[in-house]
């Protein structure tokens, strides 16, 4: 990596978005890639170049503490704005006024290479800007009301990426004079009267945007299966997925006998390669007598977290002749989603009977099965 002696170079990393299109219930930059999060991997590349006098991350207030705890103390944080443009303005203002070159990068592009960073800086030194871009490979259509109305010439089209490098003086001037929201810094630069200069990007420098992008991040997906059954007993509460259900009888067990949550816990433990709940929370231990299964679930989530695993999806089936569960299932899904820290739509719970067969079929008990997907 070439050293740019005499220049004060800074980086702005944008981390304040919500990433709603990924379907994650948390900022996508906090999703894992191996043993690190997206934001850690992104910032690490800039640090490793040894080129930057300052690195400023624009973050939301909600994620400030979490992101700060994951980054080196040398990385500065500022609170971002409601839009990407606002976040860039705030981050630029947080930089030292004697900065020469600034690179503005989307935190959701963790696969940026040192070659792109170096080339962007060189271009900004010579031309005032360096914008990585790749040729469009798909056919592009202009569409109106669901109808194709035109086919732009693909040979003149490129997809721009980040980091986009600029003369700090020029991009700060551009953001001070152009009052519009864009998804691209080079457009602000162009609207201010400057000429953005393209450099060669890389197709691997992709941005994490959709659920499919998140899925491709991890090589550590694990599937687990859990099953449990309990007998009905008088004088007990009936609890499923942490939700108390009206019934003349509850389920018999050392804990609260939440048969659904027990199946979920064993599924998570199975996927994580950990001992089952009978080993971790034995029914011979008085400490677990009458304990809430949701409390035990929180402990299991902590154990999975220590292995850098989190629940990505859950599918459950409750097997019972009674009571009827259709109306209460949304509440059960919401309870489990809250306990697992995932989206409501990432959980499904169904109910069935066993056609009058076995302990469930004769109405003496209730069973549950769960299948879980874990990822880093």
**Predicted pLDDT of residue 128:** 97
Strands 238-240 and 198-200: unpaired
Task: Please name each of the domains of the chain with its CATH number.
Answer: 9-215 (3.90.550.10), 222-375 (3.30.1330.50)
99 closest CA partner among 7, 188, 18: 7
Measured distance CA(318)–CA(243) in Å, rounded = 14
In the numeric block, the tokens 């914008």 are attached to 131
- φ, ψ for residue 58, nearest 5 deg: -90, 120
**Predicted pLDDT of residue 212:** 74
- φ, ψ for residue 141, nearest 5 deg: -125, 145
Our separate counts of H helices and E strands in the chain read 12, 19
Question: Which two three-digit tokens encode residue 201?
Answer: 């990007």
**Predicted pLDDT of residue 336:** 95
**Predicted pLDDT of residue 119:** 97
Residues of the chain falling short of pLDDT 70: 1-3, 19, 34, 215-220, 376
Cα end-to-end distance, the chain, whole Å: 31
79 closest CA partner among 70, 68, 71, 69: 68
Distances (CA, A) of 140 to 7, 46, 115: 40, 33, 29
**Predicted pLDDT of residue 28:** 87
**Predicted pLDDT of residue 166:** 98
Question: Which two three-digit tokens encode residue 260?
Answer: 């659904």
Q: Is residue 57 within 8 Å of 76, Cβ to Cβ? A: yes
- How many other C-beta atoms can be found within 10 angstroms of the C-beta atom of residue 341? 12
**Predicted pLDDT of residue 27:** 86
Question: Which two three-digit tokens encode residue 328?
Answer: 């209460």
Q: How far is CA 251 from the centre of its chain?
A: 37
Q: What digits encode the pLDDT tens for the residues 133-158?
A: 999 988 889 999 999 999 998 888 99
**Predicted pLDDT of residue 220:** 64
Q: What is the DSSP string of 119-175?
A: HHHHHHHHHSEEEEEEE--S---EEETTEEEE---GGG-EEE-SPEEEEHHHHHHHH
Say if residue 112 is exposed, middle or buried (CB neighbours under 10 Å; 0-12, 13-18, 19+).
Answer: buried
């Amino acid at each position: 990596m070439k050293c740019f002696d005499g220049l004060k170079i800074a980086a702005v990393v944008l981390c304040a978005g919500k990433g709603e299109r990924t379907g994650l219930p948390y900022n996508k930059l906090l999703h894992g890639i191996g043993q690190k999060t997206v934001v850690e991997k992104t910032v690490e590349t800039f640090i490793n170049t040894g080129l930057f006098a300052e690195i400023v991350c624009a973050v939301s207030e909600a994620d400030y503490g979490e992101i700060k705890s994951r980054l080196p103390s040398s990385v500065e944080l500022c609170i971002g704005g409601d839009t990407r443009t606002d976040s860039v303005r705030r981050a630029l203002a947080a930089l030292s006024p004697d900065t020469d070159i600034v690179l503005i990068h989307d935190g959701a592009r963790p696969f940026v290479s040192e070659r792109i960073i170096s080339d962007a800086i060189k271009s900004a030194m010579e031309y005032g800007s360096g914008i990585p871009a790749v040729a469009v490979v798909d056919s592009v259509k202009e569409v109106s009301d669901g109808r194709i109305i035109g086919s732009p010439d693909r040979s003149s089209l490129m997809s721009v990426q980040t980091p986009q490098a600029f003369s700090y003086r020029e991009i700060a001037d551009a953001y001070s004079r152009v009052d519009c929201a864009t998804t691209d810094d080079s457009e602000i630069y162009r609207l201010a009267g400057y000429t953005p200069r393209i450099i060669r990007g890389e197709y691997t420098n992709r941005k994490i945007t959709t659920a499919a992008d998140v899925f491709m991040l991890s090589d550590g997906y694990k599937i687990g299966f859990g099953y449990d059954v309990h007998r009905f007993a008088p004088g007990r509460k009936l609890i499923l997925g942490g939700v108390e259900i009206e019934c003349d009888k509850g389920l018999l067990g050392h804990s609260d006998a939440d048969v659904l949550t027990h199946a979920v816990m064993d599924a998570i433990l199975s996927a994580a390669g950990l001992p089952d709940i009978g080993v971790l929370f034995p029914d011979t231990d008085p400490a677990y007598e009458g304990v809430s299964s949701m409390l035990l679930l929180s402990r299991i989530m902590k154990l999975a977290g220590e292995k850098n695993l989190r629940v990505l999806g859950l599918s459950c089936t409750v097997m019972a002749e009674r009571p009827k569960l259709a109306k209460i299932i949304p509440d059960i899904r919401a309870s489990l989603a809250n306990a697992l820290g995932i989206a409501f739509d990432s959980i499904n719970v169904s109910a069935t009977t066993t056609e009058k067969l076995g302990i469930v079929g004769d109405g003496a008990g209730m069973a549950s099965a769960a299948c879980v997907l874990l990822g880093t």
